[in-house]
Amino acid sequence: MTGGAAFAIGIDLGTTNSALAYLPLGEERAAPEVLPIPQLVHAGEVADRLLLPSYLYLPHPAEMAGEALRLPWAPPGDVPREVVGELGRAQGALTPIRLVSSAKSWLCHPTLDRRAASLPVGSPAEVPRISPLDASARYLAHLRAAWNAEVAKGDPALVLERQAVTLTVPASFDAVARELTVEAARHAGLHDPVLLEEPQAALYAWVEAMGDGWRKLVQVGDLILVVDVGGGTTDFSLIAVVDRDGELGLERVAVGDHILLGGDNMDLALAHRLQQKLADTGKTIDRWQLLALTHGARQAKEQLFADRAKMSIPVTVPGRGSSLMGGALRVELTRGELGSTLVDGFLPRVEVTARPAAQRRAALTTLGLPYASDPAITRQLAAFLSRQREALDASTAPVPKLSGKAFLHPTALLFNGGVMKAAELKERVREVVAGWVAAEGGEPPRELPGVDLDLAVAKGAATYGRVRSGRGIRIRGGTARAYYVGVETAAPAVPGMAPPVEALCVAPMGMEEGTRAELPSRELGLVVGEPARFRFFASSLRHDDRVGSVVEREAELEELAPIETTLPAASGEAGQVVPVSLRAHVTEIGTLELEAADEKGRAWKVEFNLRAAEQPSA
């Protein structure tokens, strides 16, 4: 791909924080390094941070002097009207109507038109709005500008757009969200970013950090569970260690759903606990004080997790006015409260048969992110391992010996995400999984050590850039989902009933990059000159569907944005029905492309249609 790139770049475009790591491709054993990212930390003050908070603040014209928002690389003259990074997050916490946050979660929102300017949600009309796609592009553009100013320094061969860039996405991102991520990168001037699933990136970082030693730490038959709890999302993946021609190989066998639940929820939960404690003594607090309380609770949490001898930590909310002591509120966070709120609240000891409380239906909620309605990460994990076990029952995937009776038995755990710095949280996950496995007579899983929890994804993505150039082990697995097109079945019309739809598999699970799948016989008739729209579905469970397999009950599948194509007039007379077949192509960079081809071999691109999705009235 990017010929002559000097560096492999890994970009972790996170829900709450982003990071960029790099390694020189010319050096055999270079370890990935993290780029300190210059950003506004206060008005008029730029400082380096290893993480770029993924927040965009849209200031009021009278609010902050434009010059105070100038970044070192900004050309003189135009005055910036947006703030990305630490200052954006801090300012937005006080004025949330002007803050764009969690753009990445909006990017995989099932019903929103993600190219339409819709963020910040629910703000007054005069606040400028941008789309989730543009917000993601802004963060990437900031990283690009930072790299070009700090590293390239005017050398056109070193600019970011000419390096081998890998961009990470949650394993739970479907084809549409992946496509949009690439589109955002292109808006930011990065033309061919390669996509990589975040849990895989964490494992690449682990392999890199262990050097050749990793081959001694795992063996054929191991099943590695990657538990990635970030600031805003939780992501699970299972990666099997397999025998590949006598060598150890890694194969990703399953990914979980997109769970909007993470470290920020934990800090907020602690703050609400303390807020309740204050309320019990008759003290109410406002938004500013709740922020200060959240901040204080986070620090107290870190101190309690770091020092097991401490039984409680005082948290002070200073007075907001100039009276620091007079307006101050004081409350204690005890070890018991920490345990019951975080460890038992988010990681309760549950049976493997436990399932998360049902997701609220989208129709009942106003326009908002589909946050997980059950905060118990262990219940989400139980559901993941059990559902994947059922799915792999009759499958050819390489895990039969490990599969266990009721759920998949992981033999090793790899943690990722800043939340997992707390040993007690890691220990609880390990204990719960070990309990489930022991009940079916299995060995407890061991923890794979030694990954930098905040920066592993960026570092692993940079390592992947080198792997793609042919050095180092590559995790296989291909696409994490199978994709289906909804086709109306021929059935007698019944008033009030939509004709039944069956789902036709167009791209099976596990398609590797650079491969194609063609529907052999089933043909669809398209009308020349008229847009043809099909419902589009995905499944992360149906391992064995092949191209052309039919799923009669489309309710088993996840519905995505519909796909659409229009045959141009050149393909025949207007109104004429042309028989076409669909073919799927997984590109080298990891996106899914669909084409409709007629019998003469002419092909037209089939697009994801986001606009057709139901638009909530905001």
Partner 1 sequence: MDETLTPLQRLFLAFVAFFAVLFNRRFAEEVHALRARERAALPPGAAAPKPPDHAESLQIIALLQRDGRLLDFLEESLEGFSDSEIGAAARTVHAGCKKALGAYLQLEPVLHEPEGASVTIASGFDPAAVRLTGNVVGQPPFKGALRHHGWRAARTSFPPLPAHDPRILAPAEVEL
The residues binding partner 1 (CB under 8 A) are 42-47, 65, 67-68, 299, 314, 316, 318-320, 322-326, 328, 330
Strands 247-255 and 475-476: parallel
What are 103's strand-pairing partners?
none
CB of 278 to partner 1, least distance (A): 14
Nearer to partner 1, 44 or 211 (CB): 44
CB of 617 to partner 1, least distance (A): 27
CB of 147 to partner 1, least distance (A): 22
- DSSP classification of residue 343: I
Nearer to partner 1, 73 or 514 (CB): 73
Nearer to partner 1, 294 or 565 (CB): 294
Amino acid identity for residue 520 in this structure? P
- DSSP classification of residue 162: G
DSSP letters, 554-617, are: GGGSEEEEEEEEE--GGGSSTT-EEEEEEEEEE-TTS-EEEEEEETTS-EEEEEE-STTSPPP-
Encode 273-293: b = buried (16+ Cβ within 10 Å), e = exposed.
bbbebbeeeeeebeeebbbbb
Q: What is the dihedral of CA 320, 325, 329, 333, to 10 degrees?
A: 120
Strands 577-586 and 515-518: antiparallel
Q: Give Cβ neighbours of residue 618 (< 8 Å, ≥ 6 apart).
A: 118, 121, 122, 367
Any idea how long the chain is? 618
Which tokens hold the place of 126?
Answer: 């005069």
CB of 77 to partner 1, least distance (A): 16
Nearer to partner 1, 69 or 224 (CB): 69
Nearer to partner 1, 65 or 439 (CB): 65
Rounded Cα distance, 428 and 229, in Å: 14
CB of 329 to partner 1, least distance (A): 9
CB of 271 to partner 1, least distance (A): 17
Name the nearest CA neighbour of 105 among 232, 192, 19, 208.
232
Rounded Cα distance, 204 and 207, in Å: 5
CB of 417 to partner 1, least distance (A): 25
Contact between 450 and 206 (Cβ < 8 Å): yes
CB of 333 to partner 1, least distance (A): 13
Cα separations in angstroms, 544 against 1, 250, 511? 31, 20, 12
Nearer to partner 1, 62 or 364 (CB): 62
Long-range residue pairs from 283-290, CB within 8 A, at least 24 positions apart, any chain: 283/329, 285/317, 285/329, 286/320, 287/94, 288/94, 288/320, 289/317, 289/320, 289/329
Nearer to partner 1, 325 or 493 (CB): 325
Nearer to partner 1, 44 or 500 (CB): 44
Nearer to partner 1, 44 or 122 (CB): 44
CB of 45 to partner 1, least distance (A): 4
Rounded Cα distance, 54 and 18, in Å: 6
Rounded Cα distance, 241 and 312, in Å: 43
CB of 296 to partner 1, least distance (A): 9
CB of 49 to partner 1, least distance (A): 11
CB of 331 to partner 1, least distance (A): 10
Long-range residue pairs from 522-525, CB within 8 A, at least 24 positions apart, any chain: 522/487, 522/548, 522/581, 523/579, 523/580, 523/581, 524/487, 524/579, 524/580, 524/581, 524/582, 524/596, 525/577, 525/578, 525/579, 525/580
Which tokens hold the place of 562?
Answer: 């519909």
Q: Give Cβ neighbours of residue 446 (< 8 Å, ≥ 6 apart).
A: 411, 412, 413
